[in-house]
Amino acid sequence: MGGPLTYFTHPSQVLRHIRGYIFGPRYANVLLYVKSELLEQVTTMADEGKIKVVVQDVVKGILSEGESEAAWQKAKEYMVGGRVRGKIVLDIA
C-alpha cells in the first residue's frame, strides 16, 4: 500500500503530501508488511537506482552488553522526538 491510499489512512500525511506536491520533493509512503512481493519490487528498484533510501542514523550497540542502554535510549529519543528525516537503522550485529 502506498501513495494516495496511504494519505487517507494516515491523516498526518495529508499536509506532507500537499506540501510535496506544491514545493517538492514528492514521495510516497509504502507499507510492506502485507505482501513480500512489494518488498522484493522495492529492493529491485533500489538496486537499479530508481528510488533513494535516506538513512539519518545507524544506532549501534543495541544488543551489546555494555552499550545497550545508551543505544536503546538514543533509539527511543528518535521515536518520541518525531523529528526524523529518513530512516533510523538499528545495527544488531
pLDDT digits 0-9 by tens, 15-43: 777 777 888 776 665 555 667 787 788 88
What is the per-residue pLDDT for 48?
Answer: 93
Contact yes or no for 29/22 (Cβ under 8 A): no
Query: Of the ranges 7-11, 49-53, 56-60, 88-92, which one carries the lowest mean pLDDT score?
Result: 7-11
What is the 8-class DSSP label of residue 88? E
Mean pLDDT of 43-52: 87
Which domain range does residue 82 map to? 54-93
Q: 48 and 65 in one domain?
A: no
| For the chain, counts of helices (H) and of strands (E) | 4, 2
Do 43 and 60 have their domain in common? no
Grid coordinates standing for 40?
522484493
Same domain, 7 and 44: yes
Cα gap 14→34, rounded to integer Å: 22
Same domain, 14 and 46: yes
